[in-house]
Structure 1
Amino acid sequence: MIGWRRDGGQLVAELTQQEAAVLRGMVSQIKEMLEERADEAPQDELALITGIRTGPSTPPDNRIVARLLPDFHRGDEDGDLPPADADSAAALRSIYEPQLLEAKTGVAEVVLTTCPRDGGVAALSEEQAEAWLSAINDVRLALGTALDISEDTPEEPLEGETDDTRSAHMGVYQWLTWVQDTLIATLSGDDEE
């Protein structure tokens, strides 16, 4: 992939077969994990009548899914906001998580629909490009959580580090960061300078 460019009203990039497979595979995995979480929602007769959905009131057990679906109120480290009590945190999660899951699986579906299965040109509207940004961000959050990436994690492996698996995944993480950055620059017009 060389990067994104504008072509008329679309944002265009050409992905190799391997790039498309990696992107599609990772987005599919995130989508599946989120759909499994959605299946954990309580079945509520009142929700069927009113159309008001409720989600689980407890955080996900899986730390990757928990990173994608954080608590809706946690307070802050500076002490400006008080920590949420367990009941209000559970109520907020129950109310808002179904909408968040729908949004996240929706953007994943946009990527799976618009990313060429065997590589080739991806041509996106601005709305589709924003969906790609959200889905790629979710993949990066999930991969970063799995790899324990923090602000202190070096971009290059440390001398003597021999974990080839982590190194390969770090390469994918960095590639996704680059794809996201170039898409943001093209979408905002910063790539024209």
Structure 2
Amino acid sequence: MLRSLVTSVMGLLEDRSASAPYDDLAELTGLRTGNATPPADATLARLLPDFFGAGRDAVDPESRDANANGALRSLYEPEIIDAKVAAGTVILETVPADGGKVVLTPEQAEAWLYGLNDVRLALGTTIGIDADTPDELDPDDPRAPHLDVYHWLTWMQDSLVQVLLP
């Protein structure tokens, strides 16, 4: 299940990266640029939020902050996506294919924290988890099994944090 979730998130991020417009200046300078506009997909928007006015404080598309967001997004989104994909890759390389014990170095554990956080954000956005979502849903609610997975991911992330604390 973890492999499937991580692979799905990585696929979303890689698709976003591939959708970046061609930039002649980037070709000449070697500097990569990304999309200047925020993702339309809610899950990707949660994984790649605006630099200003995030969350409920949406930025007016005609404002100065919108221009700054676009410029910053274009400059930094490729690196952000690379880091998120790299964290997912560490998870895929270190989780045993047939199950079993996971043994991680501190660096790998840190990558797991980042990767698990991205999977939790993606899953939470997809199933509509917010501050008002109860810890348990009615068994007939189609989100109930997904919420259990969300809680499992939360437990894994918390366990890693506890192990890594000095």
Shift, 1:84, TM fit: 4.8
Q: Does 1:33 align with 2:15?
A: no
Greater than 4 Å deviation, 4+ residue runs = 75-78
Q: Deviations over 1:161-185 (max 9, x none)?
A: 621x311001000000001101110
TM-score by length of 2: 0.90
CA contact (8 A) 2:20 2:35 kept: yes
Change (3 A) 1:140 1:76: closer
Which of 165, 169, 172 is the equivalent residue of 2:149?
172
* Cα distance in 1 between the residues matched to 2:160 and 2:103: 12
Q: Which residue in the other structure is 2:95 paired with? A: 115
Q: Which residue in the other structure is 1:144 paired with? A: 124
Pick which of 121-130 and 31-40 moved more: 121-130
Shift, 1:90, TM fit: 1.0
Q: What SS does the aligned partner of 1:120 have?
A: coil
Shift, 1:41, TM fit: 1.1
CA contact (8 A) 1:72 1:92 kept: yes
Name the structure where strand makes up a greater proportion of residues.
1
* Cα distance in 1 between the residues matched to 2:134 and 2:48: 26
Aligned residues: 161
Shift, 1:105, TM fit: 0.6
- Structure 2's unaligned 5+ residue stretches are 58-62
* Cα distance in 2 between the residues matched to 1:99 and 1:73: 18
CA contact (8 A) 2:10 2:85 kept: yes
CA contact (8 A) 1:75 1:84 kept: no
Q: Deviations over 1:78-107 (max 9, x none)?
A: 9xxxx7532222111111111101110110
Q: Does 1:124 align with 2:104?
A: yes
TM-score by length of 1: 0.78
Shift, 1:77, TM fit: 7.9
Q: Considering only CA atoms, is the larger Rg found in Structure 1 or Structure 2?
A: 1
Give me the identity figure in percent.
Answer: 50
- Give the counterpart letter for 2:132 in structure 1: D
Q: Which residue in the other structure is 1:186 paired with? A: 163
CA contact (8 A) 2:88 2:112 kept: yes
Q: What SS does the aligned partner of 2:101 have?
A: strand
Which of 140, 155, 164 is the equivalent residue of 1:162?
140
* Cα distance in 1 between the residues matched to 2:146 and 2:20: 32
CA contact (8 A) 1:47 1:53 kept: yes
CA contact (8 A) 1:38 1:55 kept: yes
Q: What SS does the aligned partner of 1:121 have?
A: coil
* Cα distance in 2 between the residues matched to 1:77 and 1:166: 24
Shift, 1:46, TM fit: 2.2
Which protein, 1 or 2, shows the higher relative CO under an 8 Å CA cutoff with sep ≥ 6? 1
Pick which of 67-76 and 94-103 moved more: 67-76
